Structure 1
Amino acid sequence: MSDRLPGFSTLAVHAGAQPDPTTGARATPIYQTTSFVFNDADHAASLFGLQAFGNIYTRIGNPTNAVLEERVAALEGGTAALAVASGHAAQVVVLQQLLQPGDEFIAARKLYGGSINQFTHAFKSFGWNVVWADPDDIASFERAVTPRTKAIFIESIANPAGSITDIEAISTVARKAGVPLIVDNTLASPYLIRPIDHGADIVVHSLTKFLGGHGNSLGGIIVDAGTFDWSTGGKYPMLSEPRPEYHGIRLQETFGNFAFAIACRVLGLRDLGPALSPFNAFMILTGIETLPLRMQKHCDNAKAVAEFLAGHPAVASVNYAGLASDKYNQLARKYAPKGAGAVFTFSLKGGYDAGVNLVSKLQLFSHLANVGDTRSLVIHPASTTHSQLDDAAKVKSGAGPDVVRLSIGIEDKEDLIADLEQALGA
């Protein structure tokens, strides 16, 4: 191949992968094994001491997973990545490297309901405290910074409303505060938005969604941008201080611009254990090969459906950044010019009952708690994904009682519109 940099579609098919050196297999094999044979005692010691790269045990790393990690890192423009069992697992592993008991992180209020619940309740048992900020009010992030702040967390396209977050503006706040910006890029995928290009230091995904794309495999991933100096101010001892379990190695000093990915693997995944199965890694890799084709179809369909809903008399409002009238349209044009994503919400004039009834009347849309499938999906967040929140929190997160969330698939748009039309009419 020439010296030119490969394009996105080429990377989606080829990054990280080579024909299997033993069999010549073109598809990445599923290395369905728990452990790997060492060459000799010295080889084993060097692997365990972080003096050499290689495979030890599938909980820590696996060759199938390694291809997935390299591919997503290439698509996101990062230096390295770590695949884990789910998007939620990715968030736990990331924050374990950054926070000590009593520390704080700032999170955008517009997030997936499961993340809001995880941050608010589950993380309390670790002594990690979340401080909420409004992504529509950048100054609220500045006001939330304290000496205990160790990170800022946002979604590039917020779930469930599909609103676009001003990544560059919030990254400026993070730089001023001397903390890393973490961006959940699940709803956008790197095909639409590459947060690292806009100032993100860490990117996380639920691989279960658009990257895998077929609703058949759970997974999560952490991408290290290689942009943050972890030795600054002694805030991040997991990376800057000698690690006693590795004979005093300082991860930042030893591994440089991919030290965070290494820390997540050898301090987080090793001890917390949320390993991704090689089979799921294989399934997700296969899905990524068609990511550019699917995402464009998702976006084109979503815009057509949103335009239909915006003109329907039973619909009170449509929240889709791809519509020229939407408040996030300018941000969509800046950050996601190829399309504003495939997940959005709309409000019905009949309120809570109308939302529940609509879901029951749809025939082509599948009623389930997922997004990013080839199939079109629907859910009423107030009664399901966001039901653990009080009414005020539901509204603030974009999941009020009258709101329905759609994840638009790759079917023919005319069929999707016809299904919505009959359900709204019923």
Structure 2
Amino acid sequence: MRDIAAMPPLALNGGPDERADEAVVRELAQLERTESALVLASGAAALACTMLALLRPGDHLLASRWLRADTRHFFEHELPALGVRVSFVDPAGTRSWRRSLTRTTRLVYLESPVDPTTRLVDMRPARTLAREIGLALVVDATLASPVNFRPVEHGADVVLHSARPCLDGHGEGFAAGVVCGSTAVIDEVRTKMRSWGGEPHPAAVEQLARGLKTLRVRVATQNATALAVAQWAAEKTMTDGPLRAVYYPGLATHPDHAVATECFSGHGHLITIALRGGDFAVGTALNRLQWFRVQDAARAARLGGVESVASPLEDGSIRLSIGLDAASTLIGDLTQALE
């Protein structure tokens, strides 16, 4: 696992004549190890403008089946309306990408980490195929942040972020999206952004600049606290108490722990806990939480931010997004809520 302390320090203060937006995109490109970067009005705008820049009518897109609901909707409904055919691939199958390949395939897309399952995608099969055939490999790494995961180091051509969850970190005010890649790709995305009205509000860029200044220390704290909470929860699953299972990439029991250890600098802020009492137990526990902010699972703006958030999931599970609270505080809150 790479050491996040070895990353170069953030340097958002450019020369006296450097504009705020120029400083932000320069820093984003440095963080993701790309030639250039671009800030757009939202994560949805970043996704849409990137697809419009890289795909044409008649092209075929290979996408991981493990996607956020809004991204899947865009691939299932909006891209086909523009003449782009989309196939969804099980990323856990080492040969799945190649079996779905066609003569018109132009792009491979995946999301890692995956919300809300905390699954991590092994990029090697997709990377091998993309390099062999000459396809573009696009990765949404929103829930990792470039502190924990830099997809370009593992073969990606373009990296996407919805900025509010992690990069901004406060989940308030204006939304923003980020695209990082080569200068040629960013120029194409910028053209689509201007044509389709995806420019960010100036205040969103300033908000993102403030968030980037604290990114490293926030993520390092969240990594350590989340691991402590996950280890506590894992111990509780070994008793006859309310916890049935815990899923966190930093635990050896996680199905993608090997990927996390090899490719990620930290294991992130997201934990999923499963309760033996099912949905009724989940509702009871959420009602009793005093420190975690409880929100609907469909809302992702506060994930990865300074606040700790709990959301109900299907199958009697709760998603925990760990903020900057002390591990002892969060464990105490979970203990009293689950009693």
* Separation of aligned partners in 1, 2:245 and 2:165: 26
* Separation of aligned partners in 1, 2:204 and 2:124: 33
* Separation of aligned partners in 2, 1:344 and 1:112: 17
TM-score, with structure 2 as normaliser: 0.90
- Secondary structure, aligned partner of 2:102: coil
Q: For the structure 1 residues 124 and 109, does the alpha-carbon distance in structure 2 shift closer, same or farther, using more than 3 Å as the test?
A: same
Residue 304 (1) aligns with residue 228 (2): yes
* Separation of aligned partners in 1, 2:69 and 2:292: 21
Q: For the structure 1 residues 367 and 124, does the alpha-carbon distance in structure 2 shift closer, same or farther, using more than 3 Å as the test?
A: farther
After TM superposition, give the deviation of residue 86 of structure 1 in Å. 1.1
Q: How does 1:27-426 map to 2 (within 5 A)?
A: 63-216=19-172, 217-224=174-181, 226=182, 258-266=183-191, 268-312=192-236, 313-336=241-264, 338-368=265-295, 369-370=299-300, 371-381=303-313, 400-425=314-339
Q: 1:280-338, CA deviations, whole angstroms, 9 ceiling, x for partnerless residues? A: 111111111111111011111111111122233212211111012222111111011x3
The residue type paired with residue 416 of structure 1 is: L
Q: For the structure 1 residues 117 and 380, does the alpha-carbon distance in structure 2 shift closer, same or farther, using more than 3 Å as the test?
A: farther
After TM superposition, give the deviation of residue 104 of structure 1 in Å. 2.3
The residue type paired with residue 261 of structure 2 is: R
Q: 1:212-253, CA deviations, whole angstroms, 9 ceiling, x for partnerless residues? A: 1111241111001x3xxxxxxxxxxxxxxxxxxxxxxxxxxx
After TM superposition, give the deviation of residue 9 of structure 1 in Å. 4.7
User: Counterpart in 2 of 1:391?
Assistant: none
TM-score, with structure 1 as normaliser: 0.72
After TM superposition, give the deviation of residue 424 of structure 1 in Å. 1.2
* Separation of aligned partners in 2, 1:419 and 1:121: 42
Q: Which of these residues, 9, 20, 35, is aligned with residue 16 of structure 2?
A: 20
Unaligned runs of 5+ in 1: 1-5, 22-27, 29-62, 227-257, 382-399
User: Counterpart in 2 of 1:54?
Assistant: none
Q: 1:98-119, CA deviations, whole angstroms, 9 ceiling, x for partnerless residues? A: 2223432111122222222232
Q: 1:400-423, CA deviations, whole angstroms, 9 ceiling, x for partnerless residues? A: 432321111111111111111111
CA contact (8 A) 1:145 1:177 kept: no
After TM superposition, give the deviation of residue 7 of structure 1 in Å. 6.3
Q: 1:128-160, CA deviations, whole angstroms, 9 ceiling, x for partnerless residues? A: 332111121121111111122221111231211
User: Counterpart in 2 of 1:395?
Assistant: none
* Separation of aligned partners in 1, 2:310 and 2:75: 25
CA contact (8 A) 2:95 2:125 kept: no
* Separation of aligned partners in 1, 2:215 and 2:245: 30
* Separation of aligned partners in 2, 1:347 and 1:288: 33
Q: For the structure 1 residues 154 and 286, does the alpha-carbon distance in structure 2 shift closer, same or farther, using more than 3 Å as the test?
A: same
- Secondary structure, aligned partner of 2:109: strand
After TM superposition, give the deviation of residue 19 of structure 1 in Å. 4.5
How many residue pairs get aligned? The number is 325
CA contact (8 A) 2:45 2:193 kept: no
The residue type paired with residue 8 of structure 1 is: M
CA contact (8 A) 1:347 1:404 kept: yes
User: Counterpart in 1 of 2:7?
Assistant: 8
* Separation of aligned partners in 2, 1:184 and 1:342: 16
RMSD of equivalent CA atoms:
1.9
The residue type paired with residue 113 of structure 1 is: A
After TM superposition, give the deviation of residue 259 of structure 1 in Å. 0.8
The residue type paired with residue 276 of structure 1 is: P
After TM superposition, give the deviation of residue 94 of structure 1 in Å. 0.5
- Secondary structure, aligned partner of 1:221: strand
- Secondary structure, aligned partner of 1:341: coil
User: Counterpart in 2 of 1:251?
Assistant: none
* Separation of aligned partners in 2, 1:91 and 1:409: 26
Q: 1:167-217, CA deviations, whole angstroms, 9 ceiling, x for partnerless residues? A: 233211212232111011111111111111110000001111111111124
CA contact (8 A) 2:97 2:125 kept: no
- Secondary structure, aligned partner of 1:260: helix
- Secondary structure, aligned partner of 1:297: helix
